[in-house]
C-alpha cells in the first residue's frame, strides 16, 4: 500500500535533513522529486500540479516554526497538504435515526469488488449491533446472487434475492422484507459492467429513485490508478454518490486512485478494504493515512485495534498467571489475540517506518513462525502445557519429533517461556500483601502491556 510513493517521499525528506538551512533551490528540487513521486504513483496529473504548487507556496511563505528544523517544516507542510488531499477529516457513514430500515446502495464497475464490499460492510454493521440485510440486485452477472448468499451465510447476514430478474423490484422488495423482519439496514448490491454504459447507469438511477437510499457508496478498485477519475466523474453526475469504498488497497503499491478521487470529485473516501477477510474493511482516516504514506505510522490505529479486540477476561487471566505462573496455553492465547488484530504484519505496518522495514525483511513471515510455535505446543500433553517445568530432556526430544522441529527450536521456545515465568515471579513479589488494590491494578496493566496482551509476542520477539 503506497509502498513506492512512501519510499520516494522518505528519500526526498532524508536529503533535506542534512541541510542546516533550506534555500529556494532546495525547495524547488524537493518539489520536483515530490511531483515525480506522485506521477509515478499514478496520481492524476492535474491533482499533482495543484498539490505541488500549494506545497511550494507554503514552504516559501509559511512561518518557520522554531520547534522544528527546516526539513521538518517541509515535512509538516507536505503532511498537512496530503491530509487535505485525502479528505482533511474522517467522513463517517451517516444513517438516519428516524428511518427503519436505513438503505445503503453500492455502485461501481464490474470487478471493483462491490459484492465483497457489501458483505464486509454488513459484517461491520453487525459488529456495531445493527441487524443488516443484503439485497442481491445484480441480475446481470451470472452467479452474483449466489456469491452474495455465500458471503452472507459466512457472516450470518440474510440475503434477499427475489425473482432474480428485475433489479429495481428486488431492491424495493428487500426493503419491505427488512421491515417485516425488523432489520434496520438494507445494503443494496447493484450490477456493474466492464465499462460505463447507459443501461447500467439508468438501472442504478431507477433503483435509487425506487428505494431512496440514505447513502450511495461507490466501490472503486484502488489499482485502477488515475483512470478512476473518468469513472467516478460519470457516476457522480448520474447517481450523485455520497462517498467511496476503496477496495484492494492492500494490493496497490502506488495508491494513485486513492489520492486522486476526492480531489477530482469532492466525494470523501469512507472505507478502505485491506484484505480478503470479512473484518478487513476499515474506516478511512485521512490524517492517519497521510502519516503512513510519509512513514510516520498509525499508532492510534494500533491502540484502537487492540481495544476493539480486547478480551474481557484478560484481567482475570493476568491474575491467574500471577497465582499459577505463565503456561504454554497462555502463549497460544496471545497468538490468537494477534490474529484477531490482523496479524503481526498489519501491526508492524502501522508503526513508524514499519511498512519499509517489512519490505526490507522480505515480507511478513511471522504467521509461519507462529504456526511453528503452535505445532510445538500442540505436541505437548495437557499437563506439560499447564506445567512447562515438567518438560525435561526426554520430553523435549519427544515434542521435537512430534512437531517436526529440532530439539534446539523446542529449547528456544522453553527459554522464552522461562523468561516470561521469571517476570511473573518478580511481579508477584511486587504485589505482596502490602500493596493496595489501585497499585495492583496499575501493576497488572503494566504486566499485560509487557506481555503483549492484546498484541505482541512475549518479550516483543519471536522464539525463532
The backbone torsions φ and ψ at residue 129, rounded to the nearest 5 degrees and listed phi first, read: 95, 5
| In a domain? residue 435 | no
- Pair 24, 138 in one domain: no
Q: Is the pLDDT of residue 314 over 70?
A: no
Q: What is the 3-state secondary structure (H, E, C) of 141-161?
A: CCCHHHHHHHHHHHHCCCEEC
Cell numbers for 431, please give them. Answer: 504485589
In whole angstroms, give the CA distance from residue 372 to residue 456: 16
Annotated binding site: 108-115, 189-193, 247-250
Sign of the C-alpha dihedral, residues 138, 144, 148, 153? Answer: positive
Q: What is the pLDDT of residues 390-439, one digit of tens each?
A: 999 999 999 999 999 999 999 988 988 887 777 766 655 655 554 554 55
Q: Is the pLDDT of residue 50 over 50?
A: yes
Alpha-carbon separation of residue 139 from 118, 355, 405, 459 (angstroms): 15, 41, 52, 54
Whether 15 maps to a domain, the answer reads yes
The strand pair at 243-247 and 159-160 is best described as unpaired
Buried b (16+ CB within 10 A) or exposed e, 262-290: bbbbebbbbbbbbbeebbbbbbbbbbbbb
SS3 labels along the chain? CCHHHHHHHHHHHHHHHCCCCCCHHHHHHHHHHHHHHHHHCCCCHHHHHHHHHHHHHHHHHCCCCCCCCHHHHHHHHHHHHHHHHHCCCCCCCCCCCCCCCEEEEEECCCCCCHHHHHHHHHHHHHHCCCCEEEEEECCCCCCHHHHHHHHHHHHCCCEECCCCCCHHHHHHHHHHHHHHCCCCEEEEEECCCCCCCHHHHHHHHHHHHHHCCCEEEEEEEHHHHHHHHHHHHHHHHHHCCCEEEEECHHHCCCCHHHHHHHHHHCCCEEEEECCCCHHHEEECCHHHHHHHHCCCCCHHHHHHHHHHCCCCCHHHHHHHHHHHCCCHHHHHHHHHHHHHCCCHHHHHHCCCCHHHHHHHCCCCCHHHHHHHHHHHHHCCCHHHHHCHHHCCHHHHHHHHHHHCCCHHHHHHHHHHHHHHHHHHHHHHHHCCCCCCHHHHHHHHHHHHHHHCCCCCCHHHCCCC
What are the beta bridge partners of residue 160?
A: 135
- Contact call for residues 106 and 219 (beta carbons, < 8 A): yes
Question: Residues annotated in the binding site for GTP, as ranges?
Answer: 108-115, 189-193, 247-250
Residue located via cell numbers 449466489 = 146
Residue 93 in this model has a pLDDT that exceeds 50: yes
| Cα 316 to Cα 88, 182, 441, 460, distances in angstroms | 41, 37, 11, 22
Number of domains in the chain: 3
pLDDT at 322: 58
Final residue of a structural domain among 26, 58, 86? 86
User: Do residues 218 and 107 touch, judged by C-beta distance below 8 A?
Assistant: yes
Pick the more confident residue, 98 or 25. 25
Question: Are residues 181 and 75 part of one domain?
Answer: no
Specify if 76 maps to a domain. Answer: yes
Indicate whether 79 and 149 sit together in one domain.
no
* 20 and 139 co-located in one domain: no
- Enumerate residues 6+ apart whose C-beta is below 8 A from 99: 214
Residues 130 and 187 in one domain: yes
**Interatomic CA distance for residues 59 and 75, integer angstroms:** 10
Residue 343 is predicted with a pLDDT of: 54
Residue the block writes with cell 497468538: 335
The neighbouring-strand residues paired with 19 are: none
What pLDDT sits at residue 102?
94
The answer to whether the beta carbons of residues 212 and 171 sit under 8 Å apart is no
C-alpha 369 chain-centroid distance: 22
Q: What is the CATH number of the domain that holds 343?
A: 1.10.260.30
Predicted confidence band of residue 122 (pLDDT cuts 50, 70, 90)? very high
Q: What predicted TM-score, i.e. pTM, was given to this entire model?
A: 0.64
Question: Among the listed ranges 14-23, 177-186, 369-378, 404-413, which one has the minimum average pLDDT value?
Answer: 14-23
The reply to whether 78 and 120 lie within a common domain is no
Answer yes or no: is pLDDT of 452 > 50.
no
Tell how far CA 196 is from the center of its chain: 30
Confidence of residue 179 (pLDDT cuts 50, 70, 90): very high
Cβ-contact 182, 146 below 8 angstroms: no
118 with 207, same domain: the answer is yes
For residue 221, how many other CB atoms are within 10 A of its CB?
A: 23
In a domain? residue 293: no
Closest CA to 79 of 60, 51, 53: 51
CATH of the domain at 62: 1.20.120.140
Higher local confidence (pLDDT), 382 or 351 = 382
Question: What percent of the chain shows pLDDT beyond 70?
Answer: 72
Boundary residue ending a domain (43, 61, 86): 86
Higher pLDDT, 396 or 237: 396
- Asked whether the beta carbons of 326 and 457 are under 8 A apart, the reply is no
Tell me what pLDDT residue 366 has. 63
For the cut 80, the answer to whether the pLDDT of residue 278 exceeds it is yes
Share above pLDDT 90 across residues of the chain, in percent, rounded to a whole number? 25
Query: For position 71, what pLDDT does the model report?
Result: 78
Tell which residue, 394, 395, 393, has the closest CA to residue 377. Answer: 395
Single residue among 231, 265, 284 that ends a domain in this structure: 284
- 238 and 363 housed in the same domain: no
415 and 271 co-located in one domain: no
- The pLDDT-based confidence of 319 (bands split at 50, 70, 90) is low
State the Cα–Cα distance between residues 453 and 320, nearest whole angstrom.
Answer: 14
Q: How far apart are CA 175 and CA 185, in angstroms?
A: 9
Question: Using an 8 Å Cβ cutoff, are 222 and 258 in contact?
Answer: yes
Question: Would you tell me how many other CB atoms lie within 10 Å of the CB of residue 368?
Answer: 8
Q: What is the mean pLDDT of residues 11-26?
A: 79
Quick one: 130 and 250 in the same domain?
yes
Q: Which of 378-387, 436-445, 453-462 has the lowest mean pLDDT?
A: 453-462
> What range does the domain containing 372 cover?
325-429
Pair 41, 141 in one domain: no
Mean pLDDT for 384-391 is: 90
Given a cut of 50, whether residue 33 has pLDDT beyond it is yes
Amino acid at each position: 500500500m503506497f509502498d513506492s510513493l512512501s519510499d520516494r517521499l522518505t528519500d526526498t525528506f532524508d536529503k533535506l535533513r542534512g541541510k542546516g538551512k533550506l534555500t529556494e533551490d532546495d525547495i524547488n528540487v524537493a518539489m520536483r522529486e515530490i511531483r515525480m513521486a506522485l506521477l509515478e504513483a499514478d496520481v492524476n496529473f492535474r491533482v499533482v500540479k495543484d498539490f505541488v504548487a500549494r506545497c511550494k507556496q507554503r514552504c516559501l511563505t509559511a512561518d518557520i516554526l522554531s520547534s522544528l528544523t527546516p526539513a521538518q517544516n517541509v515535512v509538516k507542510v507536505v503532511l498537512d497538504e496530503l491530509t487535505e488531499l485525502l479528505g482533511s477529516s474522517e467522513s463517517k457513514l451517516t444513517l438516519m435515526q428516524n428511518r427503519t430500515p436505513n438503505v445503503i446502495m453500492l455502485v461501481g464497475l464490474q470487478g471493483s469488488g462491490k459484492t465483497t464490499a457489501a458483505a464486509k460492510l454488513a459484517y461491520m454493521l453487525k459488529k456495531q449491533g445493527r441487524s443488516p440485510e443484503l439485497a442481491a440486485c445484480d441480475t446481470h452477472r451470472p452467479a452474483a446472487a449466489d456469491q452474495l448468499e455465500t458471503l452472507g451465510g459466512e457472516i450470518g447476514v440474510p440475503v434477499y434475492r427475489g425473482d432474480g430478474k428485475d433489479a429495481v423490484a428486488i431492491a424495493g422488495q428487500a426493503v419491505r422484507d427488512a421491515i417485516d423482519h425488523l432489520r434496520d439496514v438494507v445494503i443494496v448490491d447493484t450490477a456493474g459492467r466492464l465499462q460505463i454504459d447507459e443501461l447500467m447507469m439508468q438501472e442504478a438511477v431507477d433503483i435509487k429513485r425506487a428505494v431512496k437510499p440514505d447513502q450511495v457508496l461507490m466501490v472503486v478498485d484502488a489499482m485502477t490508478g488515475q483512470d478512476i477519475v473518468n469513472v467516478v466523474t460519470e457516476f457522480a453526475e448520474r447517481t450523485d454518490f455520497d462517498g467511496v469504498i476503496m477496495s484492494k488497497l492492500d494490493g496497490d503499491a502506488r495508491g494513485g486512485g486513492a489520492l486522486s478521487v476526492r480531489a477530482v470529485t469532492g466525494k470523501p473516501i469512507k472505507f478502505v478494504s485491506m484484505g480478503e477477510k470479512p473484518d478487513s474493511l476499515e474506516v478511512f482516516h485521512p490524517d492517519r493515512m497521510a502519516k503512513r504514506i510519509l512513514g510516520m505510522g498509525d499508532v492510534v490505529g494500533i491502540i484502537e485495534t487492540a481495544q476493539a479486540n480486547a478480551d474481557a477476561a484478560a484481567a482475570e487471566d493476568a491474575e491467574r498467571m500471577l497465582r499459577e505462573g505463565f503456561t504454554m496455553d497462555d502463549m497460544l492465547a496471545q497468538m490468537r489475540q494477534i490474529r484477531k488484530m490482523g496479524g503481526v504484519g498489519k501491526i508492524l505496518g502501522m508503526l513508524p517506518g514499519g511498512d519499509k522495514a517489512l519490505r526490507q525483511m522480505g515480507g511478513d513471515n511471522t504467521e509461519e513462525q507462529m504456526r511453528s510455535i503452535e505445532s510445538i505446543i500442540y505436541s505437548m500433553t495437557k499437563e506439560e502445557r499447564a506445567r512447562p517445568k515438567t518438560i525435561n530432556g526426554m520430553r523435549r526430544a519427544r515434542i521435537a519429533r512430534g512437531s517436526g522441529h529440532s530439539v534446539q527450536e523446542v529449547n528456544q521456545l522453553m527459554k522464552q517461556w522461562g523468561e516470561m515465568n521469571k517476570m511473573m515471579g518478580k511481579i508477584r513479589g511486587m504485589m505482596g500483601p502490602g500493596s493496595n488494590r489501585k497499585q495492583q491494578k496499575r501493576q497488572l496493566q503494566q504486566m499485560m502491556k509487557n506481555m503483549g496482551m492484546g498484541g505482541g509476542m512475549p518479550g516483543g520477539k519471536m522464539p525463532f
